[in-house]
Structure 1
Amino acid sequence: MSLIAVIILLGIVQGFFVGFFLITKRSGNKRANAILGYMFFMLSVSMGYYFFYTSNLFLNYPHLQKTTFPTTLLFGPLFYFYTKTQTERDFKFSWTHLLHLTPFAIVLILNIPFYLKDAEYKLKYLANPEIMKSNLDLFISIFQVLQTSTYILITKKLIREHVKRLKNEASSIEKMNLNWLNICLNVIICMFLFIAAHLILIYFGVDLRSVYHVTLPVVITIFIFIFGYLGLRQPEIVLPVEEATVAKKYEKSTLTDEKGEEHLQLLLEVMDKEKPFLKNDLTLQKLADLLDISTHHLSQIINERLNQNFFDFVNGYRINEAKQRLVSHDFQNFTILAIAEECGFNSKSSFNTAFKKFTDQTPSEFRKNAESN
């Protein structure tokens, strides 16, 4: 067994292990974990093709050729539904969602004639890349790339909308923004561009299968290890109560101008005196409870009267507090990370991003400039 085959086999075992662990995991978002687990199963099954190819096992088991091809059409729907279950509190599966399996079923049916061929035909198929020029095989391969890429783009849109909602409800979103999933989706897009380039080259008579069948499975194996690690680390996303879109959110609001101004002054007074923003788990609901007003009215005040979302509103106070502490003699022995945590930030990276957004400089630059002056 070659080194490449061993690496691929490790990826397959890892995928099945992570998949089984996620499916049987009793804590967190069980539906999302189960979907992610099935995704790892499908990745491992698909990797089986590359293991058989690099180990020359198709010569002994020719009937296993193309048996994994339809499974690639499940990745897109699985990514999509994983994101839906993570980002939508009330999401429920229905029978209509089975329509997402239609491409998988179609490709499976289209491949049945090949599955019924004898071993001799399948061995010729394995040895002859020119067969890939057939209209059906080319159509299926292109369709797989386009279908998965479409689902990935839709999933990325779901994540953007999710982050936008979070910024109206939470002051710290690092553990809820699914940024790791967005990065993984970008990696998958690159892999599919590589696959598309391979298909184009085959169509024009350039056979680089020896490179393709080594490079892609090794990349996927590395991806399985990293994706598995990040997927296992993803905590359950406790979603706030969802509200309507910004355009329609306050159409039927009972908040009068007089009450709105009264609540605004109370909000600003509490933020200045009690400094609830120093708590890193501050949410719209917690702040509304502190002010004894509804989350709907509080959101309306921040959005309409201050022209901000909740995330930027709270972080603005945190940054102002951090600026004071960065130049204060009482905090001169504090590291930037310590000050960031004291001001309500969960990480140095989120602090740096927010600080740069509000001041156009990094915390280190701000402190250095203050010391020089």
Structure 2
Amino acid sequence: MYSNLLFVVVVISIFVSLLLAVFLFSLKSPNKQSNYLFASFLLLTVIDVSGYFITSADGLMSDLAMVRNLVIFLQLPTLYLYVLSACYSDFRLRPKHLLHAIPFLVVNLIFLPRFYLQDDAGKIELLSNFKEAFEVQSNHVLLHLQVFIYLILIFLVITRAKRLYLENKAGRNLQAYNWLFQLAVAISLFYTMALLKNILKFSSYDHISYLFRVALYVFQLGIICWYLLKSLKHPELFRNVDAKLKLVSSIMKEDYGNLRNADKLDDVRIRQLHDYMMQEQPYLNPSISMQELADGIALPVRELSVLINHKIGSHFFDYINSYRIKKATELLCDPHKKAFTVLEILYEVGFNSKSSFNIAFKKHTGTTPTAYRANCS
């Protein structure tokens, strides 16, 4: 029964992965590089999963089967590059990124003497005693080490990019980082299960390893389908901040002490900023950025970033939303706006997502927009 289930899951997984990869390669989008990288990740996944159908150990086929088996060392590096491209608008693939292929080359070199350079009998002998083979054992150790390192790198990239976005932007694309974080968690769970499967494969409980293999294929299919639905429903999610932007903590370490008369001018600048926000209402722009606000008040963006994020003590994202919510509360209680729906009001004050408006409104007022309006009278 399990073998039939596994066969069906593998076939569906390969079909859906190839379908999504073709879709991403052919999609006309400003996010081509991100699309190509994730499509490449999917193709590497297909190559890895296709091992289910490869049973021959003769000649060239065995060499190709081994290369296919080691392609897994390219999967997480490709996913890592995809996350970089999804987080940073100025990311470009460069020759230095080929360094991520080094683990793949190393493990192939490890198998060179006792596998690739052997005849069929030598290859079969190595594979028939794979549990004791140094090459196989080192392969698993290196793979798990690579998984650990790249998952940490992926989470660090997402966390830093989200902080940059909060400090410099106030649009709706924050949900992209939340989704990327969810994807990273799902991938982490997948590789944790794979680790347990590999441990069991080298133990006396190798029969349980097969059940983990079935579960992994099912989980993998679920992740791919989830990504497909998400990309179709929210194609606008990605490419948010410039990687050249710096966190306020970095700016403070570099030269905040040298900002001209910063301490004396802070109060003046805060009043100037508040007056500008109240009079010009730049927060009504749904995609307002730190740079645009800095241009509006003729203040260097680095100084404005430190002023808002450090002196005022609020992320730019929350700072802008505080003015939007204040404006929304006025409109909700305005008797001349009674005919306006909550949806119309949230668009008018600069939000472009009902969910983000509700979250921000509850954060700043402690209640919902509907309840707030009901209490106005």
> TM exceeds 0.5?
yes
Per-residue CA deviation, residues 210-239 of structure 1 (Å, 9 max, x unaligned), is: 423322112212222222444562555253
Alignment partner, residue 214 of structure 1: 214
| 8 Å Cα contact 2:286-2:350 kept in structure 1 | yes
Alignment partner, residue 292 of structure 2: 286
**What is the rounded CA distance, in whole Å, between the counterparts of 2:347 and 2:255 in structure 1?**
33
Alignment partner, residue 80 of structure 1: 80
Alignment partner, residue 69 of structure 1: 69
Deviation at 1:27, TM superposition (A): 3.2
Deviation at 1:7, TM superposition (A): 3.7
**What is the rounded CA distance, in whole Å, between the counterparts of 1:2 and 1:104 in structure 2?**
32
Stretch moving more, 35-44 or 196-205: 196-205
More helix by share: 2
Change in Cα spacing, 1:123 to 1:345, as seen in structure 2 (3 Å) is: farther
**What is the rounded CA distance, in whole Å, between the counterparts of 1:330 and 1:140 in structure 2?**
70
Q: If the length of structure 1 is used for normalisation, what is the TM-score? A: 0.82
Per-residue CA deviation, residues 192-218 of structure 1 (Å, 9 max, x unaligned), is: 111122222233311224423322112
Change in Cα spacing, 1:365 to 1:123, as seen in structure 2 (3 Å) is: farther
Alignment partner, residue 309 of structure 2: 303
**What is the rounded CA distance, in whole Å, between the counterparts of 1:6 and 1:328 in structure 2?**
60
| 8 Å Cα contact 1:288-1:295 kept in structure 2 | yes
Change in Cα spacing, 1:329 to 1:4, as seen in structure 2 (3 Å) is: farther
Alignment-mate amino acid for residue 170 of structure 1: K
| 8 Å Cα contact 1:80-1:154 kept in structure 2 | yes
**What is the rounded CA distance, in whole Å, between the counterparts of 1:65 and 1:219 in structure 2?**
24
| 8 Å Cα contact 1:79-1:152 kept in structure 2 | no
Stretch moving more, 159-168 or 285-294: 285-294
Alignment partner, residue 34 of structure 1: 36
| 8 Å Cα contact 1:32-1:82 kept in structure 2 | yes
Alignment partner, residue 323 of structure 1: 329
| 8 Å Cα contact 1:163-1:177 kept in structure 2 | no
Change in Cα spacing, 1:303 to 1:181, as seen in structure 2 (3 Å) is: closer
Alignment-mate amino acid for residue 32 of structure 1: S
**What is the rounded CA distance, in whole Å, between the counterparts of 1:69 and 1:362 in structure 2?**
53
Change in Cα spacing, 1:289 to 1:96, as seen in structure 2 (3 Å) is: closer
Per-residue CA deviation, residues 146-167 of structure 1 (Å, 9 max, x unaligned), is: 3123202211111111111111
Of 242, 245, 263, the match for 2:245: 242
Per-residue CA deviation, residues 290-334 of structure 1 (Å, 9 max, x unaligned), is: 334432333233234422221111011112222333444444454
Per-residue CA deviation, residues 241-294 of structure 1 (Å, 9 max, x unaligned), is: 624623225344346566654443332122223322122111122223333443
Structure 1: unaligned runs, 5 residues or longer: none
Alignment partner, residue 46 of structure 1: 48
Cα-Cα RMSD: 3.4
Deviation at 1:23, TM superposition (A): 4.0
Deviation at 1:187, TM superposition (A): 0.6
**What is the rounded CA distance, in whole Å, between the counterparts of 2:277 and 2:149 in structure 1?**
44
**What is the rounded CA distance, in whole Å, between the counterparts of 1:364 and 1:135 in structure 2?**
66
| 8 Å Cα contact 2:171-2:286 kept in structure 1 | yes
Stretch moving more, 224-233 or 35-44: 224-233
Deviation at 1:175, TM superposition (A): 5.6
**What is the rounded CA distance, in whole Å, between the counterparts of 2:119 and 2:341 in structure 1?**
69
Change in Cα spacing, 1:334 to 1:298, as seen in structure 2 (3 Å) is: same
Are 2:189 and 1:190 aligned? yes
Any residues of structure 2 matched to 1:90-169 within 5 Å, and which?
Answer: 91=91, 93-112=93-112, 113-114=114-115, 116=118, 118=120, 122=124, 131-132=130-131, 134-169=133-168
Per-residue CA deviation, residues 310-366 of structure 1 (Å, 9 max, x unaligned), is: 111101111222233344444445444443333222222222332333334444554
Stretch moving more, 305-314 or 236-245: 236-245
Deviation at 1:3, TM superposition (A): 5.6
**What is the rounded CA distance, in whole Å, between the counterparts of 2:172 and 2:191 in structure 1?**
30
Alignment partner, residue 224 of structure 2: 224
Per-residue CA deviation, residues 15-74 of structure 1 (Å, 9 max, x unaligned), is: 234334434555313333322221111111112123x1xxxx526987364442211111
Change in Cα spacing, 1:25 to 1:302, as seen in structure 2 (3 Å) is: same
**What is the rounded CA distance, in whole Å, between the counterparts of 2:71 and 2:194 in structure 1?**
16
Alignment-mate amino acid for residue 324 of structure 1: E
Deviation at 1:186, TM superposition (A): 0.5
SS at match of 2:213: helix
Change in Cα spacing, 1:256 to 1:208, as seen in structure 2 (3 Å) is: closer
SS at match of 1:171: coil
**What is the rounded CA distance, in whole Å, between the counterparts of 1:269 and 1:132 in structure 2?**
71
Stretch moving more, 31-40 or 293-302: 293-302
User: How many residue pairs align between the two structures?
Assistant: 363
SS at match of 1:167: helix
Deviation at 1:172, TM superposition (A): 1.6
Change in Cα spacing, 1:304 to 1:215, as seen in structure 2 (3 Å) is: closer
**What is the rounded CA distance, in whole Å, between the counterparts of 2:122 and 2:262 in structure 1?**
80
**What is the rounded CA distance, in whole Å, between the counterparts of 1:178 and 1:303 in structure 2?**
20
